[in-house]
Structure 1
Amino acid sequence: MSEETGGGLITNFSKTIGVTEPALKLILTVFAGYPLALIHRKYLYGKDVSLQHLFFIVTGFALGYWNYGKDINHCVLTIFFTYCTLLLLKGTAICVAVIFIFTMSHLLIGYLYCSTDSYDINWTMPQCILVLRLIGVAFDYYDGHQPPNTLSADSKKLALQKRPSLLELFGHSFFPAAFIVGPQFSMKRYLQFVGGQYSKKDTINDPPDCIEPAVQRLCLGIGYLIVFQTLGMFVSDEYLLTDEFANVNFFKKMLLLGIWGKYTLYKYISCWLLSEGACIMFGLAYDGEDEKGNPKWNGVENIELNIFENITQFQDYVKSFNVNTNKWLGQYVYKRLKFLGNRLISQFVSLMFLAVWHGFHSGYYVCFMFEFIVIYMERDIKSIIKSDERLTKFFSDPRLQLPINIILRLYTFIFMGWCLLSFGLLQFNRYMLAYKNVNYVGIILFVLWPIVYAPIIRFVLKKFKKNRSTE
């Protein structure tokens, strides 16, 4: 009876505030990290590590079961399979390959059977977070069995010489503040945290002073959540597909496209900020001390707001947005493709892996393809400017810095909306209609760059340089 009542309360409340029940449960789960962090700080911090592992396992699993019911057992199966593989195959390349193939295959089969035409809040959401976490453990255990002189500085920091125990693997995987929506963090960080290495200097049993920075992140998360809901009153996915939007004048249309892009990103940013705040409150986010000896709490930071809100080039989106996933991608995919001998190919393969990890919707692949094309275009433009002395001097003029900055901010504001259209709308017929409604501006600018604009610009500059040399 109480379960039915609880379900009814959630259902009714979700209808009252205008969100789906799974979405409401998701956000409540993220908020649940804060009271759980306070309980851990009060009763378990600095105590027996097995007790801490059990606390994280029980609470994380309970939150997962509340959201997804028996489907949460997909996560349990994946973790247990990973442990058995680490146990049997040890720190070998075969071990990494088996874990990589199994976890990704399980996730993709889940997408195949569970995906709909829109965003799905089901067991594949925590599963996709879990897949990266477990693959990371496999790579770190492999690195721990390699000669240290063959490892990069980051790999040395993360390498695991000892195989994680079953409790450690489950505790790391089900950590309640990061199990559902992230952030990603290494097994090494988790073990150092439960081992008390992030404690106050004077005693291992006292949790660090992290309440204030945690509350600051919480407030920021709530603020972005409010802005997200507010922007949704002016733009929405469906609005971009209407005749009303298509008939708006071009400049207003571009403004609305930029606002929709922010609206789409703020959905993720609000969740990440709230989740990060809970991780800070636990003490997991400790990242050493600054030059004044004050503790830093950006160890699991997933959004760098100072960069994100002041972007003038798309490369800054990569630096500031979904930071931990991008770090994971760099550490375990991009750098491992060094044998290809080509950074551009490595970057392309890494982005395609990211698209596959998201699912089978064509919108993911188009979005990451555009990310690749846009970053290529920006690098190409920089190369052209750098190769021409007059252009370098022109764009370095102090008097032009303000107008250039304004133009670049408008450019990133508008065209991030363009790049996100396929990611937000997912289905081919939907994002193609949206492309049509915004006059195909991104295709005209980005796709034609290497085919039309770049060759013309290089030809003109070369001819001008040749004419000057003959004068």
Structure 2
Amino acid sequence: MEEPLMETSSILKTIADSVGIGEPALKLLLSILLGYPIAIVHRHFIAKQPPTTQHVFIVSCGLLLGFYNFGIEFLHSTANMLFIYGVLKTIGGTAHSVIIALVFNLTYLLVGYYYTSTESYDIVWTMPQCILTLRLTGLAFDLYDGSLPEAELNKDQKLNRLRELPSLLEVAGYTYFPTSFLVGPQFPMRKYQEFIAGRMKGPTETSAHNISPAIRRFLLGCLYAGLHTFGNSYYPEEYLYSDEYAGVALWKRIVELGIWGHFVLYKYISIWLFTEGSCILIGIAYNGQDASGNSKWDGCANVDLWLFETAQNFHSDYIRSFNINTNNWMMQYIYKRLRFMGNKYYSQLGVLLYLALWHGIHSGYYMCFFMEFISVFMEKDFENVVKRNEVFAERLQDPVASNLKWLVLKIYTLIFMGPCILPLAVLKFDKWWMVYSRTWFFSQIIWGGWILYKPLVKKLLPPRRDRRE
């Protein structure tokens, strides 16, 4: 058996080298694409079987993909799952079980990062482990919400709460759902239960209705993968450290950094589109019906392409359009639970700190989310200054001024995406510091320096009401 395995590995390595990615990345991509045949098998042969049969099929597929990518180390996820299940089985849905889940899941992940991290992105067992961390922590929260009076719950809590702990097989199926456990997306246990029960479709839905939206997302994934490959061929990461980059004019360095950052994001978008397509095909992406009675299949969407490509700011457009399910999870289980702190900025800092820890221990993660914080703070504050000057704000609504504003803000988001995503992409301090210094820290000066030049802006745009009032 060893020779065929060695031959397969050799073939994969040859293909990976020819397309310029590592073998682990190629195996991960193949595993994500295998979600499509798995979805086809489930919808044709497994979907109408009893729940136990479905759970076994889902767990088996997930474990096989996990072992294919990470070998015996993939059992870390099983150990983590069994511990959390034991806690929930023993003490139920309580505040104590939520705290234990929060601390244990994140600590297990951070220890894994510590022992496996290198100088770059690592496709090791910690990758699906970070998905599992949110999934099992959310499970503890949902079980806790199920023990609270309904009057104390918000809309999302009422929708996702669990009255009782699901079986171990059910939790395993939820954990290892084959089209989402490797790189996401996130969804609550209640959604998985609805899927197993066959309720993730419209009242007149046929099994073929979700094929077209699944194919569209797959083809869009191929498009964005091609765009990333094209962009990376012109602006590889190594270019940012080269003497050639250091030698061009400052304005060109800034613009090229923005273009590079945009193409970097296409890598994540392509992967999310591939996984979304398989989630649509298997049926778990069902999201109710629109006003016309047509089924919506955006329940596992992790990117809003139109909003992303037309984004005018970071604090609203980019955050709402990118990594949607993780952002929704953070809003539901972290941000809203920090309301007792009495300050939205404290809650936001709590979310960003949790996000940074969840991503890993590299300095780039913390710098990236610091950049997000100061950009959101500056943009929101600047918008408030503009809104108070109603005359100026109204003039911006004129057709010519509105189009000019759109163009300026589009250029702004394109350029500033580079320094925002830079530390997340390159991770190491010496790398992102070099590029920041080569672009004269322009983004930190404009975003972080807002406190210093805000009085001047307020003087130029003093609060004024429209005289017609």
Superposition TM-score, scaled by structure 2 size: 0.96
The residue type equivalent to 1:41 in the other structure is: R
| Partner residue in 2 for 1:229 | 229
| 8 Å contact kept, 1:208–1:283 | no
Q: What is residue 265 of structure 1 aligned with on the other side?
A: 265
CA drift at 1:460: 5.1
Does structure 1 retain, via aligned residues, the 8 Å contact 2:202–2:289? no
Partner letter of residue 316 of structure 1? Answer: D
1:37-436 matches, within 5 Å, as: 37-199=39-201, 201=203, 207=207, 209-314=209-314, 315-436=316-437
Contact 1:200 1:208 survives alignment (8 Å): no
Give 1:202 deviation, angstroms: 5.7
Q: Secondary structure at the match of 1:238?
A: helix
Q: Structure 1 CA distance, aligned partners of 2:321 and 2:164?
A: 33
Output one character per residue of 1:352-394: Cα deviation in whole Å (capped at 9) or x when no partner: 1101111111111111111111111111111111122332233
SS at the partner of 1:149?
helix
2:467 aligns with none
SS state at 1:196 partner: coil
What are the ranges of 5 or more consecutive residues in structure 1 without an aligned counterpart?
466-471
SS of the residue aligned with 2:233?
A: coil
Do the aligned partners of residues 202 and 414 (structure 1) sit closer, same or farther apart at CA in structure 2, a change above 3 Å counting? closer
Return closer, same or farther for 1:457/1:9 CA change in 2, 3 Å cut-off: same
Aligned-pair CA distance for 1:426:
1.0
| CA distance in 2: counterparts of 1:326 and 1:174, whole angstroms | 21
C-alpha contact 1:140 1:159 (8 A) present in aligned 2: yes
For residues 204-262 of structure 1, give each alpha carbon's deviation from its aligned partner in whole angstroms, at most 9, with x where no partner exists.
Answer: xx646211110110000011001111101111222111121121123332331121111
Contact preservation (8 Å) 1:287, 1:296:
yes
Deviations 1:48-80 (A, max 9, x none): 111111111111110010100011000011111
| Cα distance, 1:396 vs structure 2 | 2.9
Q: Letter of the aligned partner of 2:211 in structure 1?
A: I
Confirm or deny: 8 A CA contact 2:186 2:325 kept in the other structure: yes
Once residues 366 and 358 of structure 1 are traced to their aligned partners in structure 2, the CA distance between those partners, rounded to angstroms, is 12
SS at match of 1:120: coil
Query: Does 248-257 or 334-343 show the bigger shift?
Result: 248-257
Q: Which shows bigger deviation, 389-398 or 375-384?
A: 389-398
> Stretches of 4+ moved more than 6 A in 1?
none
- Hey, what's the Cα distance between the residues in 1 that align with 2:436 and 2:12? 37
Unmatched segments (≥5 aa) in structure 2: 465-469
Match of 1:27 in 2: 29
Distance 1:338 1:46 in 2: 43
Query: Which letter maps to 1:64?
Result: G
Determine if contact 2:202/2:288 at 8 Å carries over to the other structure: no
Determine if contact 2:200/2:283 at 8 Å carries over to the other structure.
yes
Q: 2:6 aligns with which of 4, 7, 19?
A: 4
Maintained 8 Å contact 2:202/2:295: no
Q: How many residues align?
A: 461
The code of the aligned residue for 2:417 comes to M
* Aligned-residue offset at 1:13: 1.5
Question: What is the rounded CA distance, in whole Å, between the counterparts of 2:204 and 2:304 in structure 1?
Answer: 31
Q: Aligned-pair distance for 1:17?
A: 1.8
Residues 318 and 200 of structure 1, relative CA distance in 2, 3 Å threshold: closer
CA RMSD after TM alignment? 1.4
